[in-house]
Structure 1
């Protein structure tokens, strides 16, 4: 597969457009494309990306590949269009335009380098993307200040960003105790430099605040009495306001404590089988990843929520810089916080083998990890052996009893479907012509997860697609062999 085709597929797998990414169909405007190049270039700089992209030939809502007739090689007003763009971009931007064949359709990929030193302008005006909108940078002074700061000092990190003024008198006795317990000597005369706890001007940084004896970053485990945050809050366990290494260990200990071992008497002939409530290794890796890759710059900690059927672990910030979706699921990790990741490695809390995400996916599937623009949520479902898969997972997927009966009668009771798969079947039973995009909106899942689950249901023989993607419909199969 060609490199550009790989890149386009990775871009289309992302759950959203970004400040550095735009998706277009057949839209073309002589002036606005130059403005978009300015906006994408500046947006890439703000996000710490080397390049930004615009892809033509794809539906910007469903990400369906449609093809395009957009042609940058045409003359516009008796001038080669690429020359016109280059002439009006300041400073000079060496953008590239490629025709790429994907699934037999012609797509156009525009690659734009990020701004360097000064904002990229088109016709003497700088632009920026805010959400999915292109705007003049001058209309948003806060964004202009952020961009100028990034262009001057680089992308903010927990190392080059100073802790607040009130947090410049820090102590680290707990950190020394933690290193000692691991059998590693931490030298008092060099630890600030070796662990990179100071900014260039000698102030304590966010990294130092995270590792200090006392901080004002709450880290909580919220326990709910039902299946959602709308249900009563049963308890809140506070583990923060201290060195995050100890906080993380306490949360791992809490997970181990609630992971009860259940005696499985079903089908017993001789020895019974002991079944844990959930896969602790997957939970352990999810907590580690949440702490290592959390966007700590905003002083917001990961959030752990415990419901009657699952644990949800939320970390702030999306994928790391230059991290693509497929590489993420395969365990090719690009840390959001490189220095913090190195510290966890030094303390033997983590490893660089990239096994964390594959362990979670191996236990619970890709649908257990929800990736959004500003956060990632990992769901660890409970395996309660005293209830059937439908009683555990159906969870009011629909209140329509006809739909419930249709879904229940269709599936082999020995096949355990996920909650998301049951929700998909319920929505399809209500409306067989529902699209993947509509399913994504109805169920609150990104489209890639919907596509993966419908594909699995088809392989299980539960679901069948009749007709084309555009005009066809879904059929829930009622095979006598799986009644």
Structure 2
């Protein structure tokens, strides 16, 4: 395989002394970019010998050698190409341009930008113009309306992912202004705030008849996000049919795309405006709207290609830490795997994504079955509960499964009741075990039969 360098791709055979310069060039470039370590200048894969050490070195050098803070602007992953491991560094276009080498300062010797397929030093004039365009109204510099903030929920979310927040967490996560006061990021992540995330439901295809109006905010933004995701999981009908060769399932809304759309709205919304994300459920679709439109300098075409220009990089970093975000820049592409580009609606001050509900593909089969046999209960659509025997659960869990995967397979919506009646007895008998026994409530927990 050949990996050709472009305006957004840089290849490096190994981690060398000008690595930070390449990162800075992409941070200052409107589209960001990707650096591959373990691929030479000719595009040939050579691999990385010690990828764990190299990853640590990359993260350390980006965090400590580049200014302003790069928190939430880069991601480091390992990929296998031609049976060789290489490292992929994804870099978003920064929001506090110009970025520069810490030891050189904001000078032509410290500032770089991507031009074509290479980096170039910036001139004094380019630096001044870029600095003048910097978005100064970032959440990092807006003081929280309250300073008596607590973060019990945030700490629990981190602990659930095996991380402990120390006494310096507020500074490490950029939750303080330059004056040392809690900023608006801290306010959004605090146990209590005045941020309302609304979920409304209508009877028909328009807003004429409102049947539900729920608010999920006023708490840590991560907690609110997870509660909304849980609610939408309950709303998302899974059409199913049990046949002789297994169970067939089709989701009313693609769950991966739905999760990405919700999280994108939460972390990319412009909280400096008076609007907050809103989720609207109609009889034929779901719409998720966030405030702020596209980030400054990002076109619709670039957005749909997965180019990232994070509006709230500190929030992105925290959401990634607690495993709500997998890879930076992957959200839009995951949505477009399931839906076409028309699901996005771009407005001057808002961005909306709309998912049409899929119809039940097994409905015709069900009607046919009713005409040909009285034993229609042997074939089912939607989530029909199939009371499992212990052996059924254990057979399904020969490979590790999440609780959601297990309950979905057996057609149960009430996860807590299913866990109490079926999972807990098997755990007590020792015939079923946790994959992360030291952290029973870990969100990545799975169950596997012995």
TM-score computed with the length of structure 2 as normaliser: 0.50
* TM-score, normalised via structure 1 length: 0.46
Q: Tell me: higher relative CO, structure 1 or 2? Use CA pairs within 8 A at least 6 residues apart.
A: 2
Larger Rg: 1
Bigger fraction of residues in helix: 1
